[in-house]
Amino acid sequence: MRDVTQIDPVALRTLATAVRLGTFEATARELHITPSAVSQRIKALETYVGRVLVHRVKPLEATDAGQVLVRLSAQTELLEREAVAELLEGEQHDDETPFVSVPIAVNADALYTWLIDALVEVQATHRVTFEIVREDQSVTTERLRRGDVMAAVTSDPRPVPGCRVVKLGTMRYRAVASSEWMQAHLPDGPLSADLARAPVVAFDRNDTLQHDFLRKVTRRHLTPPVTWIPSVGDFDNAVRRGMGWGMIPEAQVRADLDAGRLVELVPGRRSEVPLFWQHWRLESPLMADLTTEITGAAQGWLG
């Protein structure tokens, strides 16, 4: 690959906007140019770097090379805005001072429990907004790899190229159900034949916690009937009201187990999911403070 150390920042921003919005037409509207100009800018950038950068389908998809430049665009924008903020340090900020936007991919349980605490602390010292992309912890790194987000809470310790990894702790889950549900569906305990028919509550189709637990307990691949509820609060409510059994963070069910309001499917067995914070490798005060707050909030909650 030839020297491409002077990439056109306008073309770079056009590429990132096109990948984010998915079409040349939407990109043209946001940038106040024509769709033809969008296409020409991206084509010129492809010629300059000697790589195809987008698959021209709907929605547009970045190639591997395109993902690298989408990340570069976002990193450049973040550093530029932080540089401006440093230049203006000590001066009165007005309503026209732009916010930095930081997209983060995170699993639902972390979002429901401790993540917001960290984001509030960061907003107290930085002019920043957040775009939260909710994904299962097993797939958040793919969002990071594609350049959709700048950081992610993930169960994958392998660093995405260009990223740092910090261990946050371990999320512990218990397989629980209401006592009435247990009496109706597993009166003789967690026998494989009964577990294969017993209704399950799962978050979404990326949520494999319940099925992973079944394989560990039974050493079989079972396919019980599943109700999908993609909301943490409603998921918990569904389990407590007897729609099925499900995996709930240990800290959220400990009191209910002690009081007998919930029962474990297999007493003493729990699932542990290690969590990591992956973020772009940037010398950025904002990213440094965000990492500090994220790790502190996570470790405080995960114990």
* Backbone φ and ψ of 227, nearest 5°: -105, 125
Using one digit for the tens of pLDDT, what is the confidence trace for 197-237?
999 999 999 999 999 999 999 999 999 999 999 999 999 99
195-197-202 Cα angle (round to 5) = 75
CA 187 remoteness from chain centre: 38
pLDDT of residue 75 exceeding 90: no
The per-residue pLDDT for 37 is 94
DSSP class per residue in 276-299: EEEEE----HHHHHHHHHHHHHHH
Band of the pLDDT at 74, cuts 50, 70, 90?
confident
In the chain, where the domains are located: 1-98, 99-303
Q: If you average pLDDT over residues 234-256, what whole number do you get?
A: 95
Q: Does domain 1-98 have CATH number 1.10.10.10?
A: yes
pLDDT of residue 93 exceeding 70: no
Q: Does domain 99-303 have CATH number 3.40.50.2300?
A: no
Strands (E), the chain: 54-55, 61-62, 100-106, 128-134, 151-154, 163-178, 200-202, 226-228, 246-249, 262-264, 270-280
pLDDT of residue 303 exceeding 90: no
Q: Tell me if the pTM is above 0.85.
A: no
Using one digit for the tens of pLDDT, what is the confidence trace for 19-29?
989 999 999 99
Q: How far is 263 from 100, CA to CA, in rounded Å? A: 46
